[in-house]
Every structure is written in C-alpha cells, then in structure tokens.
Chains A and B, each alone.
Chain A
Amino acid sequence: EADIYQTPRYLVIGTGKKITLECSQTMGHDKMYWYQQDPGMELHLIHYSYGVNSTEKGDLSSESTVSRIRTEHFPLTLESARPSHTSQYLCASGVAGNYGYTFGSGTRLTVV
C-alpha cells in the first residue's frame, strides 16, 4: 500500500499567490524528495532531505523552498507563484541504502 500522501492533487491558482504543497509519509523513511515533471519530460530533482532539519537543493534550480521539521512531513512552498511554475510536483520517500523510492500521486499545479 502506498503510504505517501500529497495534497492537493490539483491546484489552479493566480499569479503572485503563496502556495504550499503538502507531502506526508507514514513509513518512517529518512529520505524524502521533490521532483518536478513537465509532460513528456524527465523527472527533475528540485529538493531532497536525508533527515529532520536537513534539506538540500536538487539538480534543477527551483524558486520553491522546503522544510523538514518532522520525519514524516516534507512540504514545498512557493512564495509567489508564476505561470512558469505550472507543472506536476511529485514527492517521494525512501530508506537509506535502498534506491526504490515510493512516490506520492503528485500535485498538478496550474498558475494562471
């Protein structure tokens, strides 16, 4: 059973708004990741965390920020949404030494 949850599934929001995409997992995984994917493109790593109070930027530059105050929670925030932020955002978690991430269902964000 998938034990990683993302909310909302879909979000349409106006330019300039602040948004937070939620990601929670109940598996006790230390590692958590945020990927961004545009249609027909590869998944790009934008943020990752290997534990509480540990966050790093990924390979793709992103204006979003993340926090990891609790093991199970890894929210992503956009302070001022822009149309260029329109994309699908996928959260994943994993165990150290195991490369098989578990992904959430994703949030499809549209900024108008």
Chain B
Amino acid sequence: DQQVKQNSPSLSVQEGRISILNCDYTNSMFDYFLWYKKYPAEGPTFLISISSIKDKNEDGRFTVFLNKSAKHLSLHIVPSQPGDSAVYFCAASAIGNEKLTFGTGTRLTIIP
C-alpha cells in the first residue's frame, strides 16, 4: 500500500524551461512534506519542504506547492539547469511521527 506516489518515473525538460514534478499521497495524517534530490551513487540530499499549514514554499529556483484537498504536491524548478538532472523523491511525515515515507522517485533529465 503505497502512501506516497510519484506516477511519472521520468521527465525530460529543455534547459531554461520550467520542470514540474508531481506527487500524490493518500494518508490524511501527513502534515509535512519534503523533496529530496539524488544523484547516482550518492545518498539523497534535502531540497525543500512544506508544512501542511502552508500552500507554497519558495527557495530560489525551487517552489513547492501543496493542495491539501487534492492530497497533491508539486515541485517547480525554474529555470531548469543541467545540474538539476537527478532523481527527485517526494517524502511525507505524519503528525507526531518523524519517520519519512518516500515515493518511488522521478528521474529528471535536463536537455541542453
């Protein structure tokens, strides 16, 4: 029973354009959401997060949007750069529980 779903295994975007990565969740107890970025042969690195009391959080080129009613969040990267090519994992945590549940990841490829 997958509680965090990333339905797009891969995404290709032209350099300079916007990359939009999507994530859906089923557990209504989730109240904190994170995005991690992973390069091959390395561990994931924390990218950006959002609390359920917000619907948007921005950090430089990265913005995360949360739609609680739809149980959906998205990560926007603009403008996309070649160094953004990586696997992006969505993760979520439930109220009072600091363990993270991860999605299957989306491999983003930025085309020069």
Partners in one complex: yes
Q: Is the CB–CB distance between B46 and A43 below 8 Å?
A: no
Once bound together, how far apart are the Cα atoms of A9 and B49, in whole Å?
A: 28
Q: Is the CB–CB distance between A103 and B44 below 8 Å?
A: yes
A–B Cβ pairs within 8 angstroms, 10 of them: A9-B41, A44-B102, A45-B100, A59-B101, A91-B43, A99-B98, A103-B45, A105-B41, A105-B43, A106-B43
Q: Is the CB–CB distance between A101 and B46 below 8 Å?
A: yes
Q: Is the CB–CB distance between B9 and A40 below 8 Å?
A: yes
Instruction: List chain A residues, Cβ under 8 A from B89.
Output: 42-43
Q: Is A102 an interface residue, CB under 8 A from the partner?
A: yes
Once bound together, how far apart are the Cα atoms of A31 and B42, in whole Å?
A: 20
Chain B contact-residue range equals: 20 to 34
Q: Is the CB–CB distance between B46 and A100 below 8 Å?
A: yes
Instruction: List chain B residues, Cβ under 8 A from A6.
Output: 43
Instruction: List chain B residues, Cβ under 8 A from A66.
Output: none
Q: Is B2 an interface residue, CB under 8 A from the partner?
A: yes
Q: How many A-B residue pairs have CB under 8 A?
A: 61
A99-B93 contact in complex given A31-B98, A90-B44, C-beta closer than 8 Å: yes
A58-B99 contact in complex given A40-B9, A41-B104, A42-B105, C-beta closer than 8 Å: yes
Instruction: List chain A residues, Cβ under 8 A from B45.
Output: 103
Interface string of A1-30 (1 = CB under 8 A from B): 010101001000000000000000000000
Instruction: List chain A residues, Cβ under 8 A from B105.
Output: 40, 42
In the assembled complex, the CB of B29 is this many whole angstroms from the nearest CB of chain A, namely: 14
Q: Is B66 an interface residue, CB under 8 A from the partner?
A: no
In the assembled complex, the CB of A34 is this many whole angstroms from the nearest CB of chain B, namely: 12
Q: Is the CB–CB distance between A48 and B99 below 8 Å?
A: yes
